[in-house]
Structure 1
């Protein structure tokens, strides 16, 4: 019992488990969001609004029992603003881009985290880390294939989502030093709602019964995933968690193949492998 408790305390086991659960839940949410756009034709801002509105409803018990006291309101607002841009770019991309491509490009997030840490936090970006960033960019280019006839500029929406969510992750990690998992989840959901509502004004809020059901499922998965993600970051270092975050690729690819029949080409796995290698290089150089 003592051994298990010590593992739980330092995050070696429990943190990665929460990260894996978050990845599985996000895969379910992504598949539901893509179905809303591709199957039911729901505009992406409308989907984003209802996804997070319903997630907030599911989180009401947490909202009621959690303390809203914080000395970091400005950082919460900044985190949510970055998340809003990420959400809007992500949902818009999922409406037109195969899920395997969107998820593979989202794996560029650690590259943007390293660049953001250099630009905004003043962290050192040595030659090794710079080469790793360039390697990740090569992997992203292989997945995007801008030279191919079938290239769609919409794929850059997934790249933008990766960049904005990387910034949000940096702020989340900073806030875990003073804020609880519940407070992080509460402020994210509560503040996302008005921002997403504003973005949806142009497309409207109407949803058919079938579309509402699938978006509601996305909302349920989203609130559970956000809680697991914040819990993982509160227990373990971001660098330690990164390899477990890569499991989101096969999870999303599997669901995309099962639900939509999206089969990724071999170049996707090559590009993804290069991105994963660059992320591992970044972790190694950080720990060296």
Structure 2
């Protein structure tokens, strides 16, 4: 009986998604350690993080082959990866000055940007319930940002810029999936992400990790690969609508990581805003699920 539970798609999907969240939170702690405490260039951290992740991905590229990159939509792929890389850069630079808990809550506004973008650029119909959920989610982000406070800085907007860029990436991915194989989309990402990150890193003053930063950068690259792998296992084990709520656990996981390592203690407004964002995203997921049935 117990073995059957552990082998069930529901258990495995939840297990892999939670594990992805734990590893992702650990990666964010390492990233902030490098940028905030060790003074390593944020744009260079992003390059090394995904450059090392690319090296770990070489066996996949060898098995898949570069022939899958043949496409009739090369610029769609280029723009998609460029948005993804700029989102990575904004995230890394944001974590150099913004507490992990605040950054992760704000980046969770990405689904709301996707809804607005789908309405503007894909012509999708957005009903009143999804508009209301989107408004609630963005209101939660304002409560977390607290732009009226004396401690507010423009750097606090960087996680939201990441959410916007990653939302645009998702919209282009959605459009590409109608014409392209998933392997093609993945290989284009792996092949272009590191070069684009390199260009941004050079513009921000390219830096090589030295001393104590070397093992931290290597482990950061490994956590990036593992998080993506566990995420893939989660979605392949169970229905996406089922496992998605477990992804929202990344908020408390990152809060715990930031509190244990850096002593960040979120305010009461943070929890109100965070619950609004999580509640709104779950509401949107519910209505998306009903529309699919």
Where on the TM-score scale, by shorter chain, does this alignment land: which range?
0.7 to 0.9
Matching residue of 1:99: 100
Matches within 5 A, 1:3-22: 8=9, 12-22=10-20
- In the TM superposition, 1:1-288 aligns within 5 A as 8=9, 12-68=10-66, 69-72=68-71, 74=74, 75-172=76-173, 179-180=181-182, 184-202=185-203, 203-233=205-235, 239-288=241-290
Name the CA shift for 1:128/1:119 in 2 (closer, same or farther; >3 Å).
Answer: same
What SS class does the counterpart of residue 202 from structure 2 fall into? Answer: coil
Structure 2 gaps of 5+ residues are none
| C-alpha contact 2:13 2:238 (8 A) present in aligned 1 | yes
The whole-number CA distance in structure 2 between the counterparts of 1:39 and 1:117 is 39
Equivalences, count: 283
TM-score, structure 1 normalization: 0.88
Change (3 A) 1:284 1:232: same
CA contact (8 A) 1:45 1:199 kept: yes
Q: Once the 2 structures are TM-superposed, how far is the Cα of residue 152 of structure 1 from its aligned partner?
A: 1.5
CA distance in 2 between partners of 1:244 and 1:170 (Å)? 22
Q: If the length of structure 2 is used for normalisation, what is the TM-score?
A: 0.86
Distance, in Å, in 1 between the alignment partners of 2:238 and 2:171 is 14
Q: Secondary structure at the match of 1:243?
A: helix
Unpaired stretches in structure 1, ≥5 consecutive residues:
none
Compared CA separation, residues 59 and 249, structure 1 to 2 (3 A): same
